[in-house]
A and B are shown apart, each in its own frame.
Chain A
Amino acid sequence: MMTKPNHVLVDFPDIILNMASVGIVAVDRSFNVILWNRFMELHSQVRQEEILCRNLFEAFPEINRNWLEKKIKSCMILRIPSYTSWKQRPYLFNFKDPNRSGQFDYMHQDTSIWPIRDPYGGIQGACIAIHDVSEIAEATHLLETAMDQTLALEEANHRDGLTGLFNRRFFDEQISQEILRAKRYDWPLALAMLDLDHFKKINDTFGHPTGDTVLRSVANRLTGMLRSSDTLCRYGGEEFALILPHISKEHLLPLMERLNSAIQNNPVVLEDNTQITVTISSGVSHLQENQMAGELIHRADQALYQSKQQGRNRTSYF
């Protein structure tokens, strides 16, 4: 048989009142505060004697009254607990961030709300428990920021700083993947190597900053004429590599012609309105059976060399 431990005198309400890690607020059916514990006193700087018997919403006008009233009412009718999470609603009471980390200036809170029964089974009000989850919220926020940064960094790692095109490193990864894909789905894959003609002369005549402007301008013009599935990379100094999946020879050569003439017919305009006409030479090749990336690049390079030999501003196919 169990004996009642009545030799220990414990003031149970005192345990809750002094609880400093969880906020406990109780309200009656008219939302007048009937319990306000130490946690609430410390964070709100409102003492128990100041708030007891006062209406919660009048004392804290920042609380969305309609929302909380509806929530508490249905929890009293259904006789079940109700919850709020910092993920949807950062806080119920606007308290200062206890960690003062500077990231947020308020305390993040999870709350649970449950009906208060009287000894006869009736519902006399509701109790709200406030959990300080600032540390979880901050950790989550840091994690999300770090993940965003990682993604941005990964993107930056793939880009050429001057032109904004994909860089050589990305090209090396991408060409192998495109080759695998072309083989798997049995579609044609072409690679074009493009080179600005007489770029050294532009640099020598106008200076390197102008050379950079020319590179950027050519990169922009080419990008605007490509399909979303094409990948244009800055391969080296004034050389570009263009991966063209799913393209036949009948479409490939006219496309290269269009690129060549677009560059030739639209001179680069400098800030002082000087116009520089530039041309490009290119070499293209289609992926052959059993070919690896190195061989494909080599063939496109040889075709480019042929264009240069034959007087530049043209495309050769190998």
Chain B
Amino acid sequence: MESLTNKPSFCEDDLDAFGEIVNIAMGQAGSLLAEAFSGFVHLQVPNIRTIKWEELQKITDNLISKSSTISAVRQEFMGEFSGFIMVIYGCASYAILREILGFDDRESGEVGKRQREELLLELSNSLASTCTMKIASQLKLQCGLKPPRIVAVEQPSKDVVRTLFGPEPTWSLEQALQIDILFHLDGHDFPFELLITVSPESLPLVQKSIARLLT
């Protein structure tokens, strides 16, 4: 009988196995992204860790301190594999984003501002959805994404810290799993960040999938 008091938590072996699964998924995502965006986008080997909510804030603070202004896009995923994704851009060149995505509309004023937001949303959705869906399909878990939304556009990083993850979720004391993927865009000196936080509710299913894949 399973103990009710001991919540399943990720051990080192689980993390290693999950790491391998994520690496395979990233390989697949990487080649699709290379095809879609003519090799402009490069994914790095992800860093995987288990975290508590309190630590998440620290990790974000640290990440944000690298750049004075940032733009951020948030996207939730749901189903058997659930959680949320943050895509965090430092100083991004809109000209390059436009080139990567192939969008040619470029107006000024309020319309231009919305077109720039659309560039951030489009690239974020492509990266976040491709990576997340590939991980879910490796795990053979059902997953769907909600539309992405803008959290910040070129705001001073220190102002964004609090708004970035929204209100503290109910799982504050539980463990979540975080997949931290750096990605490079051609023409940018610094990498940007794709953070996939897997909710504690889906961890038991993720563990089951890992066990099934290992046997």
Contacts and interface: CB of A to CB of B under 8 A. Distances in A.
Interface string B29-44: 0001101110000000
Nearest to A112: B147
B126 A78 contact: yes
Q: How large is the interface on A (under 10, 10 to 19, 20 to 34, 35 or more residues)?
A: 20 to 34
Secondary structure at the A interface, as helix, strand, loop or mixed, is: mixed
B126 A74 contact: yes
A85 to B, nearest CB: 6
B182 interface: no
Interface in B63-111: 101-105
Contacts of B101: 70, 74
Secondary structure at the B interface, as helix, strand, loop or mixed, is: helix
B16 interface: no
Q: How large is the interface on B (under 10, 10 to 19, 20 to 34, 35 or more residues)?
A: 20 to 34
A77 B148 CA distance: 19
A88 B126 contact: no
A187 interface: no
Contacts, number: 58
A85 B121 contact: yes
Given A71-B122, A81-B129, 11 more contacts: A64-B105, A67-B104, A73-B36, A74-B101, A74-B126, A80-B130, A80-B133, A80-B145, A82-B122, A87-B117, A110-B147
The 8 closest A-B pairs by CB, nearest first: A80-B129, A83-B147, A70-B102, A77-B36, A88-B118, A74-B36, A88-B114, A78-B130
25 contacts: A64-B105, A66-B103, A66-B104, A70-B103, A73-B36, A74-B36, A74-B37, A74-B126, A77-B32, A77-B36, A79-B32, A80-B126, A81-B145, A82-B122, A82-B125, A83-B121, A83-B125, A83-B147, A84-B118, A87-B117, A88-B114, A88-B117, A88-B121, A89-B114, A110-B147
